[in-house]
Structure 1
Amino acid sequence: MAEERDESKVLEVESLGVKVSIERAVLADDIDTLELLADVDDGQVLKTPRLLRHILGDAQYEDVKAALAVDGRTGVSSMAEFIAGVFAAIGDTAKN
């Protein structure tokens, strides 16, 4: 049986033509998200994929990699641009 989602608890954003759903609680009230954001902000850029996987979940993370892949590889610059777009969209949504 499919589980119904409370749409008020899910944020839908799009970056580089790829749409993702993010649980608001993962952004607003999750210590793991906060720790990963702090690590990335402190210059530990190698934790960025872990942050994105945590926010999106495994399935969506893999879907994003596949959508951005060229010749079977997802470029770091494409993923960085995607992440920047996601956080920009989150910011825009928070303003509304």
Structure 2
Amino acid sequence: MRRRSATRGPRSTRSWPGPGLPVVTGEVRIAKAAAPHIERPWSATANLRVRRAVVVVHAREATGREVADRLQYRMRRQVNQAAHSGRAARRPVAPPWRRAAG
């Protein structure tokens, strides 16, 4: 399948700090298929890096607005999951009667 890029110019890497999130760096690509007979010609891919985790998100839709909305929803969900799944989140908490008083 041959695709043409929806954006022109050199690719850029942006970083954005969200509320309660570490700095996220990465790249987003949005493309439209050249063939007119495809049901969902718009595709988007995001390759992001959150701390040490690599997040890859894909979306395909019929219109550019739909693919942007779907990609944003999936990116938020996966970035939040990657940002908040550190060692502290997985560490078991001792029951109250085993904690040291004081």
- TM-score under structure 1 length normalisation: 0.32
Q: Is the strand fraction higher in 1 or 2? A: 2
- Greater helix proportion: 1
Computing the radius of gyration over CA atoms, which structure comes out larger, 1 or 2?
2
